[in-house]
Amino acid sequence: MHRLKLFHRVILRPMLAQPSRGLLTFVAVALGVAVVIAIDLAGFAAAGSFRSSMESLAGKASLELAGSTGIPEDTLGKLATLPIPVRFEPRVEEYITDEASGVVTSLIGIDLVAHAQRNLVLGDASGLEVLDHPRAAWVGAGLGRQPGDELRITIQDRSETLRVSGVFQEEGDQPGTNRVVVVDLPVAQALTGREGLLDRVEVEFPEDVDEAAVRAAVSAVLPAGVELRSFGARTDANRRMLGAFRWNLRILSGIALVVGAFLIYNTISVSVVRRRGEIGVLRALGVTRTGAQALFLAEAAAFGIAGGLAGAALGTLMARAAVDLLAATVNALYVTSTPGAVSLSAGHLAASLLLGLGVSLAAAFAPAREAGSIAPVEAMARGRRDYDVRVNAGRNALWGALLLATGAAFCWMPPVDGRPLFGYLATLLLILGTAMLLPLLITLLNAAAQRQVTRLFGVEGLLAARSLTGSLRRSAVLVGALSTAVAMMASVALMVGSFRQTVMVWMDNQIQADIYLRAAAPSSPDNYPPIHPDVAAALEALPEVAAVDRFRAVSLMLNGKPATLGFGDSQLMRTQGRTSFLPGQDRQAILTRLPTGPYVVVSEPFSQKHDARVGGTLQLPLPSGPMEVTILGIFNDYSNERGTVFGDAAVFAPRFPRQEITSLSVYLRDGVSLDAGRLAVEQATANRRVLVFTNRSLRAEAIRIFDQTFAITWALEAVAIFVAVMGMAGALVALVMDRRRELSLLRFLGASKPQIQRLIYFEAGLLGMLSNVVGLLLGFALALILIYVINRQSFGWTFQFHWPGALLLGALTLIYAATLASAWFPARVATRLNPIEVIHEE
Amino acid sequence: MTSRRQLLQLLSAVVGASAFGSHARAASSPWRLALPGYRYQFPRDHMAHPDFQTEWWYFTGNLRDQRDSDFGYELTFFRQARQVAPDARAAWQTGQLYLAHFALTDVAGGGFEHRERLNRPGPGLAGADASTGRVWNGNWQAQLTGDHDWRLQAVDAGFAIELDLRSAKQPVLHGENGIHQKASEAGRASHYISLTRLETAGTLTVRGRRMAVRGLSWMDHEFFTSQLGGNQVGWDWFSIQLDDGAELMIYRLRRRDGSIEPLSGGSYVHPDGRWERLRLEDFTLRTRGVWTSPRTGGVYPTAWDIGVPRLHLRLTAQPLLDHQELVSERRLGPSYWEGLMQYQGTRQGKSLSGKGYLELTGYAGDVDLSGQERGGLTR
Amino acid sequence: MLAVSKHYRSNGVDVPALRDFSHRFRAGEFVALVGRSGCGKTTLLNLAGAMDFPSQGEVWIGDACTSRLDDAGLTRLRRTRIGFIFQFFQLLPTLSVVENVELPLLLAAAPDPRAQALRSLEWVEMADFAQRMPHQLSGGQMQRVAIARALVHRPQLLLADEPIGNLDTTTGNLVLELLRRAASEQGATVLMATHSPESTSITDTIIRLRDGAVEDITQPACTV
């Protein structure tokens, strides 16, 4: 009770008296927390949802059967009669697009007759309509259809119409998230062109049944190329893969929180500094050291809790906005994403509170300790000690240098569990180290600019510069916050800019055919909808066409990690393409040898993920049985992050039971214009749902996807910078309030109102300039870590370093302008002070 | 038979009324009717009759392990034909549907478990194959091992059976030469064959405990096309295997107005295998006690007094376990009681006892049997 | 000053701080304003310093009437004609001694501020401390620096609000002596608010205020 009263008087009342300052800090914490929560929620909805869609209608299976190109359905009959108490649940799965809404979802074929006896009831129980309507479909409530509706879908390279027989909701579904389309198994087989095949068989048995016995019994009847694995192994592998992606995003999202921490630190420091006298009095009246400390920790906690709660709410809103962007990224780089709904769980709410509280308390620790160390005598010693600086710039700098050195050393550490843990630690150490160097830096800069400042910017410049050095701690924290935001922005700009430039150059090499085609159905690195072979034949017959490369991509599991096996005409690739290999590898020789035996080339991310070397071998699980292949080379590839194994169609196509094509590259005859060629191709494929890209439009599309992929990154940077600039505004208001006596004195000494305003602008300008310069330098260092350590370790890509000059310049100018703009309000406040009242108040 | 009726109703629910109700039976029905003059031939007639629309194989039995604990089992296979447009999806076509029930009663342990399955033939998921003498639904199967002998194998979560059934008697053809009339009209009938005394030995697994068992089983095999939906509300059916080597089968159809269907009846099988037909007026049935289901609220008359004056036979029927109710977890079928029974009584003053099954339907009150145009076994 | 009145609004009630004060101060006159706290001394100083406007009446500083000037005009007036001294010295802690002193000149963009500042410091005998920071000085030294700052632009009017209120007697006397000299040597009108009776001993005029009104005006020097 007693404490509470004290808290109310010393902390709450002043805070309420000046709500704008408290508000800004609160908003900073809330935004920081919100971004972290938003990214996590959106990441879960976008990356976690492929599970909910793929695993829809799953029973409690613990094992599953899968083959890279399907399981012969006869296997199911053998399995079903095994004398073991096991259920075998056959499935045919395909990603489709609901043409009316554009929603990407899964088509799942299950044995609806057998399901009629199970707990799952698809809609009304009165009849298995499936038996009478060969195109009957049951759809998740999230698709917003009614029984009797027609459902037009894009599947592979066709449009098909289904009839909605029922709408269902699975147990545990978030309302509106289930968009799965369920059809009877043979219907799905017909729709996907996989008659006689099953994609997966879920193996379900009671807990008291020995798994080893089940495995033995099941394995005995399995044909070659069918794998018995733990249920959800692929999903788990996907999740692990996405785990790294989401982890990186989380780290990025933490920047805003770090910036927020700087601001909390600033707020609490100011709070302590301003109330030194009060604290002294309290200490004189018997408040203990810990009591005084607790007061300020409680202030921080109040910010933390309020910010955390608001952050959770705001984060949910932001997540809703971000989820589609994130889904696009997941889709482009990893697996087909069918984003689910964003909803705040109790866990996330708790996480928000903990984040807000944790960051606030950590940031407030040092200032609170200082409050505790205030001696009772200081109650009497007010006045000129207001801004007494207690920063030992030299010692801080020493620590800073130590941190920087450690950070640099961390860059040479290997990844931990596939994650660049040390790389991120290095960035954190670099940020902290730089922050600790700042006081010395500011002092030195000020000393160096001593005379120049006055000469260039007049007395206001002098006063501004002195004020910054005078309250070193505060200005160091502000510069720390803003320069961190600037540095992260700059580093990400550098990394993404380099990445983009590298990809553009790569595409110029890679995209050599004139026209490209793929099926219109949803596609992603784990899912390649086939194009009918007739299309390729029809194109070849065109007089405009010189050659057609049939490319097939198959998603498979290698060493428990998902990867893509692709094969096409490697000789066309050799003569027409310009695929580049890692330095020291002879492209011509490699491609010439590729069709001559069990040889492959692998992409750079693949070699990184699977630790594959030139000359090494791989065991490919093909439908015809495992195949050992030798790696001839490693090629540059930025098309997906999972990694690609490429071989010649002559070697691999015969090992697959049915010939499928997943994309076509068309080379036009000399003298045929691109427009004429495209027109001919489009006419020849008019009855198919295929996407036709010209060389140029494919590049544009790739760059569009690339930019979309990084949109979320930019959004995160923007929030961090916004928080920093807002913090700057708040800090400047605080600065004005704290220095109102000084500002008033200046008025007595003959300063005009414009001069006072200029003074504030100069301070903001100096802070902004310093932050930009420090931020740019730090950003360059961070970019090196991002590109050569973090990206390497988590994605395995090589970029050429590239300065996105215009982008950086623009961004820095914008930030600088924003910093100056943030001084507008404080400057107004400064001129509205009544000097008489201020100078005489005590 | 009543449980069969229930299964039929389940089937018809699944298949849809149009394929089943008698009113919908078009003149162009591709299936044969059960008419007099059929010549039975075994083991051929133990197998499927695809030219009839509906068929079932129905095994029940009372078993005893080496510690004299009593068990009962029920394993049934149903086949239901449908008219479907011929299409390319041969493996998965729904022209034949197979339904199966598997239940186990553990008297000492007080346990009763039951499961059901529905499948189409698919790639070998279910069927009745005359060439191999096998009737199966997944890993539940009945394999013909002799003229009238069977081997049953069924595995499910928590329980399993593996039994050899050796028939001590020739098949009983119920009604008139196996034509079991359901209504006065010609063809409104089924072919009804029973193996009433199958000496049984094998193993039984209950919750991981595997034990050797011996006992007696009973098999019913019916096939037919035409059934008549009527005003029946339920069915009481008794199968009784007496320790003097005789068997008794009695069924009684209850009508909505409380009266008993006149075509109700039964059969008495002498120890030497001869059998005689019983008509409704040949026996008396009186309820001695009821059991109320805590789950469905159904009040089942599970204890009875049975009299067959013509045979000087008096029996009391007592369930070996009260809760042998098959509660329908899904919405596809009604709940009913079907369980292992103990019979005690006298014939001509000489005491005798027996075991068998009793089936009681239409008591749970959750389904109005006659109100549904689903057809079924009536009259 | 002509019939100056000043009212403040406090809780919606007009509180008169100064009533009908009229006086003409001469160049080189050293005036002491005495009276209890809240009697109107500070109000008078603020009016004289062009920091505030009278509710009624006019304040003339030389040929300028404050109520006819805008903020820029008032600022110009302060830059050229008025110097302030405060009880708590009010030196800027981040500026060195000489920088503090040259501040008014810098703000006014006057030529050669450093030389003038040093001259002013010499005048208060603080030239040796020019490069020190304020917190390295004693109270008396700080007030001398403040006086140097107030006089650095040779103002016509020097306003001192309790200049020795925070100093011991010896140091206080030194400061009073400096003010006396400022009046006599530089010809500035020195208007000093004080509540210490002994500090009035060396002033030319003593104006006693009570509840915003003049109680009496004595001119000890003339009496002698």
- With both helix axes pointing from N to C terminus, report the angle between A289-333 and A19-47 in degrees, rounded to the nearest 10: 40
Tokens for B40, please give them: 């039975």
H/E element, A703: helix A695-738
Q: Which of residues A814 and A577 earns the better pLDDT score?
A: A814
* Count of structural domains within chain C: 1
The pLDDT of residue A601 is: 93
Q: Do C51 and A387 touch (CB under 8 A)?
A: no
Domain of residue B38 covers 2-361
* Count of structural domains within chain A: 4
Please count the residue pairs, one from chain A and one from chain B, whose beta carbons lie less than 8 angstroms apart: 101
pLDDT grade for B353, boundaries at 50, 70 and 90: very high
For the cut 80, the answer to whether the pLDDT of residue A783 exceeds it is yes
Instruction: Give contacts of A742 with chain C, Cβ < 8 Å.
Output: 92
| Residue A219: count of CB within 10 angstroms of its CB | 11
Q: Which of A352, A383, A414 is the last residue of a domain?
A: A383
The pLDDT of residue A218 is: 93
Tokens for A234, please give them: 């692929």
CATH number of the domain enclosing C104: 3.40.50.300
A206 touches chain B (CB under 8 A): yes
- Which of residues 137 through 156 in chain B touch A, CB cutoff 8 A? 138-139, 141, 153, 155-156
A27 domain residue, yes or no: yes
List subunits contacting chain B, requiring 3 or more Cβ pairs under 8 Å: A
Chains A and B touch (3+ CB pairs under 8 A): yes
Instruction: Give contacts of A386 with chain C, Cβ < 8 Å.
Output: 93
Calpha distance A147→A133 (Å, rounded): 13
Tokens for A93, please give them: 């799965």
Closest CA to C175 of C75, C89, C99: C89
- Which of residues 324 through 343 in chain B touch A, CB cutoff 8 A? 329-332
Calculate how close chain A gets to C156, using CA atoms only, in Å.
Answer: 14
The full 3-state SS of A32-61, as one line of letters, equals: HHHHHHHHHHHHHHHHCHHHHHHCCCCCCC
Chain B nearest-CA residue for A110: B92
A111 touches chain B (CB under 8 A): yes
A504 domain residue, yes or no: no
8 A C-beta contact, residue C208 and residue C217: yes
Q: Where are the alpha helices (DSSP H) in A752-804?
A: 753-785, 792-794
The pLDDT of residue B240 is: 95
Instruction: Give contacts of B156 with chain A, Cβ < 8 Å.
Output: 85
Calpha distance A94→A338 (Å, rounded): 12
CA distances in angstroms from B316 to B238, B243, B283, listed in the order given: 12, 14, 13
Calculate how close chain A gets to B14, using CA atoms only, in Å.
Answer: 5
Task: End-to-end CA distance of chain B: give it in Å, rounded.
Answer: 12
* Mean predicted confidence (pLDDT) in A346-369: 85
Closest CA to B378 of B247, B256, B286, B278: B256
Calpha distance A180→A194 (Å, rounded): 19
* Mean predicted confidence (pLDDT) in B173-194: 79
* Mean predicted confidence (pLDDT) in B38-45: 89
Model pLDDT for residues C153-184, shown as the tens digit of each residue: 888 888 888 887 777 788 888 888 888 888 88
The pLDDT of residue A388 is: 45
Task: End-to-end CA distance of chain C: give it in Å, rounded.
Answer: 26
ipTM: 0.86
A373 domain residue, yes or no: yes
Q: Do A131 and B94 touch (CB under 8 A)?
A: yes
Closest CA to A436 of A379, A480, A405, A466: A480
8 A C-beta contact, residue B192 and residue B222: yes
- Which of residues 184 through 213 in chain B touch A, CB cutoff 8 A? 207-208
In this structure, the strands spanning B179-181 and B172-173 are: unpaired
List subunits contacting chain C, requiring 3 or more Cβ pairs under 8 Å: A
The pLDDT of residue C221 is: 54
A156 and A200 assigned to the same domain = yes
The pLDDT of residue B91 is: 74
8 A C-beta contact, residue A529 and residue A95: yes
Most confident of B19-33, B138-152, C191-205: B138-152
The pLDDT of residue B351 is: 93
- With both helix axes pointing from N to C terminus, report the angle between A740-748 and A695-738 in degrees, rounded to the nearest 10: 70
Model pLDDT for residues A167-188, shown as the tens digit of each residue: 877 666 566 667 888 888 988 9
pLDDT grade for A318, boundaries at 50, 70 and 90: confident
Calpha distance A466→A475 (Å, rounded): 11
* Mean predicted confidence (pLDDT) in A387-392: 52
* Mean predicted confidence (pLDDT) in A484-504: 83
Domain of residue C82 covers 26-53+63-223
Instruction: Give contacts of C71 with chain A, Cβ < 8 Å.
Output: 752-753
Model pLDDT for residues B184-228, shown as the tens digit of each residue: 667 777 888 999 999 999 999 998 889 999 999 999 998 988 655
A354 domain residue, yes or no: yes
The pLDDT of residue B328 is: 65
Cis check for the bond before B43: say yes or no (omega within 30 of 0). Answer: yes
C84 touches chain A (CB under 8 A): yes
**Which region among A326-335, A346-355, B173-182 has the lowest average model confidence (pLDDT)?**
A326-335
CATH number of the domain enclosing B305: 2.40.370.10
Nearest CB among A741, A749, A839 relative to C103 is that of A749
Q: Which of residues A810 and A262 earns the better pLDDT score?
A: A810
Model pLDDT for residues C55-70, shown as the tens digit of each residue: 777 777 777 777 777 8
* Mean predicted confidence (pLDDT) in C4-28: 65
Calpha distance C188→C180 (Å, rounded): 10
In chain C, pLDDT over 70 holds for what percent of residues?
90
For the cut 50, the answer to whether the pLDDT of residue B374 exceeds it is no
Model pLDDT for residues A19-34, shown as the tens digit of each residue: 766 777 788 788 888 8
**Which region among A237-241, A488-492, A517-521, A730-734 has the lowest average model confidence (pLDDT)?**
A237-241
To which residue do tokens 């070699």 refer? A607
Q: Which of A170, A199, A231 is the last residue of a domain?
A: A231
pLDDT grade for B166, boundaries at 50, 70 and 90: very high
Q: Do B332 and A116 touch (CB under 8 A)?
A: yes
Model pLDDT for residues A820-834, shown as the tens digit of each residue: 888 888 888 888 877
Calpha distance A69→A553 (Å, rounded): 11
Please calculate the CA angle B258-B263-B264 and round it to the nearest 5 degrees.
65
* Count of structural domains within chain B: 1
The pLDDT mean for chain C works out to: 78
Calpha distance A169→A178 (Å, rounded): 7
The pLDDT of residue B59 is: 95
* Mean predicted confidence (pLDDT) in A446-467: 75
Q: Do A387 and C79 touch (CB under 8 A)?
A: no
C75 touches chain A (CB under 8 A): yes
Calpha distance A509→A578 (Å, rounded): 5
Beta strands in chain C (DSSP E): 2-10, 13-21, 30-34, 56-58, 60-61, 64-65, 82-85, 157-161, 189-193, 205-210, 213-218
In chain A, pLDDT over 90 holds for what percent of residues?
10
Model pLDDT for residues A136-162, shown as the tens digit of each residue: 888 888 888 888 899 999 998 889 999
Chain C nearest-CA residue for A459: C106
Instruction: Give contacts of A835 with chain C, Cβ < 8 Å.
Output: 51
The pLDDT of residue B357 is: 94
Calculate how close chain A gets to B162, using CA atoms only, in Å.
Answer: 10
Model pLDDT for residues A435-455, shown as the tens digit of each residue: 888 888 888 877 777 667 666
Q: Which of residues A297 and B134 earns the better pLDDT score?
A: B134
Model pLDDT for residues A624-678, shown as the tens digit of each residue: 788 999 999 998 888 777 789 999 999 998 888 777 888 898 999 988 888 899 9
For the cut 80, the answer to whether the pLDDT of residue A591 exceeds it is yes
A615 domain residue, yes or no: yes
C14 domain residue, yes or no: no
Model pLDDT for residues B86-99, shown as the tens digit of each residue: 665 567 887 888 98
The pLDDT of residue A207 is: 83
A507 domain residue, yes or no: no
A127 and A177 assigned to the same domain = yes
Model pLDDT for residues C115-152, shown as the tens digit of each residue: 888 888 888 888 888 888 888 888 788 888 888 888 88
A68 and A190 assigned to the same domain = yes
The pLDDT of residue B314 is: 94
C81 touches chain A (CB under 8 A): no
Nearest CB among B92, B94, B117 relative to A117 is that of B117
* Mean predicted confidence (pLDDT) in A721-750: 78
Most confident of A98-107, A612-621, B266-275: B266-275
For the cut 80, the answer to whether the pLDDT of residue A337 exceeds it is no
The pLDDT mean for chain B works out to: 83
Calculate how close chain C gets to A473, using CA atoms only, in Å.
Answer: 14
Domain of residue A780 covers 392-498+713-842
The pLDDT of residue C119 is: 84
A134 and A144 assigned to the same domain = yes
Most confident of A474-483, B294-303, C85-94, C165-174: B294-303
B15 domain residue, yes or no: yes
Selected residue of B79, B92, B163 to mutate for chain A interface (largest A Cβ count, 10 A) = B92
Please calculate the CA angle A293-A298-A303 and round it to the nearest 5 degrees.
135
Model pLDDT for residues B30-41, shown as the tens digit of each residue: 888 888 888 899
* Mean predicted confidence (pLDDT) in A339-352: 80
* Mean predicted confidence (pLDDT) in B323-345: 79
- Provide CB contacts within 8 A for A447, sequence distance 6+: none
The pLDDT mean for chain A works out to: 81
**Which region among A12-16, A423-427, A806-810, C128-132 has the lowest average model confidence (pLDDT)?**
A12-16
Nearest CB among A458, A469, A836 relative to C46 is that of A836
A553 and A646 assigned to the same domain = yes
- Which of residues 78 through 107 in chain A touch B, CB cutoff 8 A? 78, 80-85
A226 domain residue, yes or no: yes
Model pLDDT for residues A196-223, shown as the tens digit of each residue: 889 889 898 888 888 899 999 999 998 8
pLDDT grade for A345, boundaries at 50, 70 and 90: confident
Model pLDDT for residues B217-256, shown as the tens digit of each residue: 999 998 988 655 556 677 888 999 999 999 999 988 888 8
Q: Do C106 and A835 touch (CB under 8 A)?
A: no
Instruction: Give contacts of A749 with chain C, Cβ < 8 Å.
Output: 78, 84, 103-104, 107, 149
B368 domain residue, yes or no: no
Instruction: Give contacts of B91 with chain A, Cβ < 8 Å.
Output: 73, 186, 196
pLDDT grade for B9, boundaries at 50, 70 and 90: low
Q: Do A116 and B139 touch (CB under 8 A)?
A: no
Selected residue of A81, A165, A185, A205 to mutate for chain B interface (largest B Cβ count, 10 A) = A81
CA distances in angstroms from A392 to A805, B100, B237, listed in the order given: 37, 85, 99
A434 and A343 assigned to the same domain = no
A734 and A825 assigned to the same domain = yes
B123 touches chain A (CB under 8 A): yes
Model pLDDT for residues A606-616, shown as the tens digit of each residue: 888 888 899 99
